[in-house]
Structure 1
Amino acid sequence: MSSTSGDARNNVIVFFTDQQRWDTTGAHGNPLDLTPNFDRLAAEGVHVENSFTCQPVCAPSRASLQTGRYPARVGCFRNDIPLPEDTPTLAGCFDEAGYDTGYIGKWHLGDTDTAGPVRPEQRGGYTDWLAANLLEFTSDAYQTTLYDGEGRAHELPGYRADALTDAALDYITRERDAPFLLFLSFLEPHHQNQRDDYPAPEGYGERYAGAWSPGDLAALGGNSAEHLGGYLGMVKRLDECLGRVLAALDDTGLADDTVVLFTSDHGCHFKTRNDEYKRSCHDASIRVPTALRGPGLDTGRPITRLVSHIDLPPTLLEAAGLDVPAWMDGRSLLPLVRGEDDDRPNDVLVQISESEVGRALRTPRWKYGAVAPGRDAWNTPCADRYVDAYLYDLENDPHELRNLVAEPAAAEVLGPLRERLARRLAETGEHAVVDPAG
């Protein structure tokens, strides 16, 4: 892996949250002032206004961010499938270029028979390790257990997000001779699985209970009335942790040489679209907050085109001054940042598993989703035929409350969207027919 910009090899920090909706941020119009640090990051750097996961469930989304490839192509098309040990990765690229590479927090790409330690062969190429395979099962709000590179357990004090941030600050401020890549992976604002709850820091859930609800939850409810306050309290604490990381970069003089990416693995629909929290084509599941700041990224100009998670790893490599390997499916955002003409399509492809074998196309106006009839959503990574299932006019129905797929007037729209989805599938190696329902 060679440098594309001489000796200018920038540090990289990925600040990665879990299950965070895009509309929790002030940059997206949230009225509660939950995210002043994210909003500042977006205002000073590059706000990716329309950012989408390519798979709305933990492991597949994480596989994409570690590889720059679609989940079905990697093989991690659902949870409980480890990242294949021979898969080339983002960390491997940075390691080859002489970087220190560190991972802290939740991994969710290791062997399924352990929640805690992850074998070295399954760590995606990261050399400095303090993580748990399934952090939701080795921790609680005020009890955090992570495992080091030797597999030894470490009990970290304080609220979980604060504990991970403390570990990150220790990593960032170490004396070192090489640049670094740090992937800091939180569990917040994901629910606590053992009791189906959103445990915010003490007092935070109460602060935001009943304070605000996005349009889809106001209309559909789900279990948001019970849990939204805690969820928003967790978002607030995450932003405070982001502020601590940004302050540490300023205090150590590293801010001018460090690329910071903030994003999340997927969103949360609070049991409004199916019987759990994600795994659907709706924006509540797939749209996430994303912003970048650092050398070459301090433009203050947003990217308004639609962006997929697969575009983020190549962006980090180019922003660090490294080549982007041909095996990545995504394309760097740096040409868009520089204002260059770009022929990439203004849409994103989303793969859906576990709840259905589905594929969706998100365009600026339309959400089109298709499913594979009768296919086993747990064991089937893809299909040779999909049929119409969802159509939303996002211009007139931004909260996706009216599925138009069966409306006679939708036929004129559906035909081009089927063709567009089929082309996007073919680009990923999935040659499938996309047909009308029935």
Structure 2
Amino acid sequence: MTEKLNVIVFFTDQQRWDTTGAHGNPLGLTPHFDRMARAGTHLFNTFTCQPVCGPARSCLQTGLYATASGCYRNGIPLPPGSRTLAHYFKDAGYATGYIGKWHLAAHEPVPQEERGGYEEWLAANLLEFSSDAYDTVLYDNDNREVKLPGYRVDAQTDAAIRYIDRHRDDPFFLFLSYLEPHHQNHTDNYPAPDGYEEMYAGKWMPPDLQALGGTAPQHLGGYCGMVKRLDEALGRLLDCLKSLNLQQRTLVLFTSDHGCHFKTRNSEYKRSCHESSIRIPCAMTGPDWLNGGQIRELVSLIDLPPTLLDAADIPVPAHMQGRSVMPLIRREKSERRSEVFVQISESQVARAIRTDRWKYAIHAPERSGWNDAGADRYEEQFLYDLHADPHELTNLIGMDSYEAVTEQLRQRLIARMMEAGEQAPVIVPAVSRAGGQRCASIAERRADISNGPVPRC
């Protein structure tokens, strides 16, 4: 590259992957994201490594798993001296800016020493408490309260466009962190722009929510309206880059911290191993050399920090625990990525591994997810066959016909825990139960038939 690559992270909060047309949503919520996915790089199978706000953000800022950084639950600020993306980009000669929700500090407003090294600041630690949908309040570099006009998504986007215009001649790294489509905590609702909820209420519903209900009938219309406005903001941002002739020297990454299961898997919206909690949208656009088409390899949120640095030709620190996806985008080598690892905290101490086909999860019922980052003893909790049951409606854990699969996944999960810096735990197998006609493959079923009476159908 002859000039530095600008980098913008367009970061949403609690957005499911299947809100996008690129993943089959029929409501037309995300035409701009879908265009990014078609023309740029679509990381089709992307997953968070921690399905809760603060810990996921710590992973994305530091490139470390939440247990390694110490930010394993909400309310734990980044430790003093933590190196974030802002530090690496600043050291490489970039202006750095942060707009929106931070959720990695101990104070509100966030003092300079708790801002992760970002130079230009217009943010709130807990945006859901400092603002409302039409009452956007952020804090500037001097911790002065700044009230921005308009719907909250639009207010932040306006601020981002002003930042880009000010730095049009500088290499810059901008982290644009929205609250939407997260719920508004004090009312427990999803406040879309006026008129938007009505467009989507009672329309298409993802199959897991159709089966399990939860609060989706009440909340999905507003949630979809928020997603729609976010996508319109993405379009405005891309228009800004085009108008300033910055498209070919600016990488834009769109992703989210975690998904939303609408109180179908526990008593709130995330903090579970299920696809609805952990699978997120992710796409990049930028210079032509950065556009790699659709990539089906499994990618974790922990892989995105080294990816951004690699794309900007900044050395990736050896201590970062993810792997850049740039070799996949550049088609430099074939690299098999067959699993992602998830740490779950707050509601429980749990771990999970997600492969192309399987979801395997364990938990430590004697430990508090708030007080304990991990455990030395876990029990098996879930096993899902995602090929046969993509909406995770039938838990196979303990079925005798899946013992071999479970044992393999158990060992793979332990290996991933150790790679993340955890000690190898004891995992207590689930109580065995008859699988009936259920088995992992037709070959196994044939073997069962050859060894005894043909099962009834």
State which of 67, 82, 95 in structure 2 corresponds to 1:87.
82
Q: Provide the residue aligned with 1:416 in structure 2.
A: 408
**Structure 1 runs, 4 residues or longer, greater than 6 Å off:** none
State which of 102, 112, 115 in structure 2 corresponds to 1:107.
102
State which of 273, 282, 285 in structure 1 corresponds to 2:274.
282
State the TM-score, normalized to the length of structure 1: 0.96
Count, aligned residues: 430
1:198 aligns with 2:190: yes
Given that 1:140 and 1:192 are in contact with CA atoms closer than 8 Å, whether structure 2 keeps it comes out as yes
Q: Provide the residue aligned with 2:430 in structure 1.
A: 437
Distance 1:296 1:89, change over 3 A: farther
State which of 18, 21, 44 in structure 2 corresponds to 1:23.
18
Given that 2:14 and 2:260 are in contact with CA atoms closer than 8 Å, whether structure 1 keeps it comes out as yes
Give per-residue Cα distances to partners, 1:353-374, cap 9 Å, x unaligned: 0111000000010000011231
Given that 1:296 and 1:319 are in contact with CA atoms closer than 8 Å, whether structure 2 keeps it comes out as no
SS at match of 2:404: helix
Given that 2:328 and 2:335 are in contact with CA atoms closer than 8 Å, whether structure 1 keeps it comes out as no
- Identity over aligned pairs, percent: 62
* Structure 1: distance between partners of 2:278 and 2:210: 19
Q: Which has the larger radius of gyration?
A: 2
AA at the equivalent of 2:255: T
State which of 249, 263, 270 in structure 2 corresponds to 1:257.
249
SS at match of 1:390: strand
Q: Provide the residue aligned with 1:154 in structure 2.
A: 146
1:174 aligns with 2:166: yes
Given that 1:42 and 1:300 are in contact with CA atoms closer than 8 Å, whether structure 2 keeps it comes out as no
C-alpha deviation, 1:101, in angstroms? 0.2
State which of 291, 295, 298 in structure 2 corresponds to 1:306.
298
> Counterparts in 2 of 1:2-401, with a 5 A limit?
5=1, 7-111=2-106, 114=107, 116-175=108-167, 177-295=169-287, 298-299=290-291, 301-343=293-335, 345-401=337-393
Give per-residue Cα distances to partners, 1:102-139, cap 9 Å, x unaligned: 0000000010xx4x410111111100000000000011
C-alpha deviation, 1:295, in angstroms? 2.5
Alpha-carbon RMSD: 1.2
C-alpha deviation, 1:22, in angstroms? 0.2
C-alpha deviation, 1:178, in angstroms? 2.8
* Structure 1: distance between partners of 2:126 and 2:6: 27
Distance 1:409 1:175, change over 3 A: closer
State the TM-score, normalized to the length of structure 2: 0.92
AA at the equivalent of 1:189: P
Structure 2: gaps spanning 5 or more residues: 432-457
SS at match of 2:293: coil
Given that 2:168 and 2:244 are in contact with CA atoms closer than 8 Å, whether structure 1 keeps it comes out as no
C-alpha deviation, 1:296, in angstroms? 5.4
* Structure 1: distance between partners of 2:333 and 2:403: 33
* Structure 2: distance between partners of 1:10 and 1:48: 20
SS at match of 2:202: coil
SS at match of 1:151: coil
C-alpha deviation, 1:86, in angstroms? 1.0
C-alpha deviation, 1:343, in angstroms? 4.7
* Structure 2: distance between partners of 1:221 and 1:375: 29
Task: Identify which range, 15-24 or 80-89, moves more after superposition.
Answer: 80-89
AA at the equivalent of 2:76: I
* Structure 2: distance between partners of 1:196 and 1:381: 27
Give per-residue Cα distances to partners, 1:241-277, cap 9 Å, x unaligned: 0000000000000010000000000000000000000
Given that 1:311 and 1:332 are in contact with CA atoms closer than 8 Å, whether structure 2 keeps it comes out as yes
Given that 1:46 and 1:297 are in contact with CA atoms closer than 8 Å, whether structure 2 keeps it comes out as no
* Structure 2: distance between partners of 1:298 and 1:420: 32
SS at match of 1:292: strand
Task: Identify which range, 301-310 or 169-178, moves more after superposition.
Answer: 169-178
SS at match of 2:343: strand
C-alpha deviation, 1:299, in angstroms? 3.1
Give per-residue Cα distances to partners, 1:294-323, cap 9 Å, x unaligned: 135543511101000011011111111211
